[in-house]
Amino acid sequence: MEHEKLRIFNDQHETIGAAARSDVHAQGLWHETFHFWLLKKEHGTVYLYFQLRSPAKKDFPSLFDITAAGHLLADEQPSDGLREVEEELGLSIHFEDLTFAGVIQDEIHMPSFIDREFCHVYLYMIQEKHMEFYLQKEEVAGLYRAKLLDAQQLLTGTCERIRIEGFQVDANEERREESIEVGVHDFVQHEHAYYEHLFHSINQFLTQ
């Protein structure tokens, strides 16, 4: 996986070549990713879904993050990113049913690497009353949801803690449902501007 080739860009999103994933993160090179955010409306309340990253993940283990996401390889288009939704969540969704929320620049600086992404962000509203999720345990340990307004307030810095509900799957494939209180440090630290753009796009989507 670390040797996969990713297309790399300058900060104006102009292609400048390709590099191995390991070099992209080690050198802080701009590259492209696919971000999928799942929404559901129940009894007038909109919910936003977050995956709980596996404790076995090299980066950001056991933190809440985008519903499903992944890198786009050098020869891929954003539509190819849908494989992440099927692999991580077990959902089969058509690309034309997604709503494009824009390309958002996002940087995460860690002691061990710098992650600079042009994120192709897509939204999907669940229409079915009940959906079955089949999590890829190597990547995803659970799936949770927050009220959209709560998530927006937490991740844009206007409240400190919120309650989320969902389930975890343990090493024995046992599924445990729970409702827990979380703070911003329980989430992968995407840039403030990323979340501002995301929630603006979601709110525009909901008023269409």
pLDDT at 2: 58
pLDDT at 174: 87
Give every CB contact of residue 161 below 8 A, 6+ residues apart in sequence: 154, 181, 182, 183
Where do the domains of the chain lie? 5-206
pLDDT at 10: 97
- Mean pLDDT, residues 8-17 taken together: 96
Point out which residues pair with 100 in neighbouring strands. 122
Tell me the C-alpha distance between 4 and 159, whole Å.
Answer: 39
Tell me the C-alpha distance between 189 and 107, whole Å.
Answer: 9
Residue pLDDT, tens place only, 124-164 = 999 887 889 999 999 999 999 999 999 999 999 999 999 99
Q: Dihedrals φ, ψ of 101, to 5°?
A: -110, 5
Continuous segment of H or E residues that includes residue 202: helix 192-206
Other CB atoms within a 10 A radius of the CB of residue 27 amount to 12
Report whether pLDDT(1) > 80: no
Find, among 181, 37, 70, the residue nearest to 136 by Cα. 70
- What rounded mean pLDDT belongs to the chain? 95
Point out which residues pair with 105 in neighbouring strands. 118
pLDDT at 101: 98
- Mean pLDDT, residues 178-196 taken together: 97
Residue pLDDT, tens place only, 20-40 = 999 999 999 999 999 999 999
CB-CB contact of 67 with 40 (8 Å): no
- Tell me the CATH class for 5-206: alpha beta
Tell me the C-alpha distance between 151 and 149, whole Å.
Answer: 5
Q: Which amino acid, 50? A: F
DSSP string, 14-65: -EEEEEEHHHHHHHT-EEEEEEEEEEEEETTEEEEEEEEEPTT-SSSTT-EE
pLDDT at 143: 98
pLDDT at 136: 94
